[in-house]
Structure 1
Amino acid sequence: MPPKPPLQATFRPGLSGSVRLDVGEADTAEALGSGDVPVLGTPRLVGLCEQASLAALGPAVSPDQTTVGMRVHVDHLAPTQVGGVVTAEATLEKVEGRKLTFTVTVRDRCSLVAAGRVTRVVVDRDRFLSKASG
């Protein structure tokens, strides 16, 4: 098996990805237990930001690797009601060894809904899973 390329060669700043969500009842703060209003819940919004960061990496992650969440800093700036559509975008800004930092934004048709950073770490899939199982 050929050696793996160094991370710097595989993951380059500028990689970007996006995901779209039609906000439904299950995505609300009420449904998620994070509030008592029927608008896009912050936990679901954070999940969208992580999904966008994964979309940015796409095939750059080898089959024996994965990335796991390490840090999320997102400011939820505006509400989105059920039936609204939001798009989360992530751009890889910085590669520090195994640590990948993304700038993320979430927008609906009217405004910036959220902005922040997501940091993920590249890990060996099998080693990580063996740690999780004890």
Structure 2
Amino acid sequence: MKQFCEAVMTVTEEKTAKAMGSGDLPVLATPAMIALMENAAMRCAAEGLPQGITTVGVRMEVSHDRASGLGAEITARATLLEKAERSFTFRVEAFEGETRIGEGTHVRATVQADRFLAKLNRG
């Protein structure tokens, strides 16, 4: 398990608030920033998990503090704060260059992938 992971993306039309329906401006959508943060945390949690075990996001508390325009490169960082028996808690941050544009905490829970999916298919 890694203690620190990053994920990077470029703000494209598809990742704007206008395109995602979370706003009406051509700026980085909060849901896109959150997805990038979650991806960084998922990568950290995945390291060293047994075959067939994965993690799912169960809690996200973040602020989106600065706007980023088209073409901006965004880096999300996840730092492990706590590992419990079946969950991981991360500090998550998003940056445009050296400027932090968002921050918060994210919790991921471990699940057995096939059992998790089987429950979905029963309903």
Q: Secondary structure at the match of 1:60?
A: coil
Q: Could you state the TM-score of these two structures normalised by the residue count of structure 1? A: 0.86
Q: Could you state the TM-score of these two structures normalised by the residue count of structure 2? A: 0.93
Cross-structure match for 2:113:
125
Cross-structure match for 2:4:
16
Runs of 4 or more, structure 1, over 3 Å off, are none
Runs of 5+ unmatched residues, structure 1: 1-10
Which structure carries more strand by proportion? Answer: 2
Q: Provide the rounded CA distance (Å) in 2 between the counterparts of 1:99 and 1:131.
A: 20
Percent identity for Structure 1 against Structure 2: 34
Q: Deviations over 1:60-97 (max 9, x none)?
A: 22221010110001100100000111100001111122
RMSD after superposition: 1.2
Runs of 5+ unmatched residues, structure 2: none
Q: Deviations over 1:9-36 (max 9, x none)?
A: xx5xx61110111110100000000000
Cross-structure match for 1:69:
57
- The counterpart of 1:40, out of the listed 18, 28, 52, is 28
Cross-structure match for 1:56:
44
Q: Provide the rounded CA distance (Å) in 2 between the counterparts of 1:58 and 1:123.
A: 11
Shift of 1:46: 0.7
Q: Provide the rounded CA distance (Å) in 1 between the counterparts of 2:55 and 2:116.
A: 10
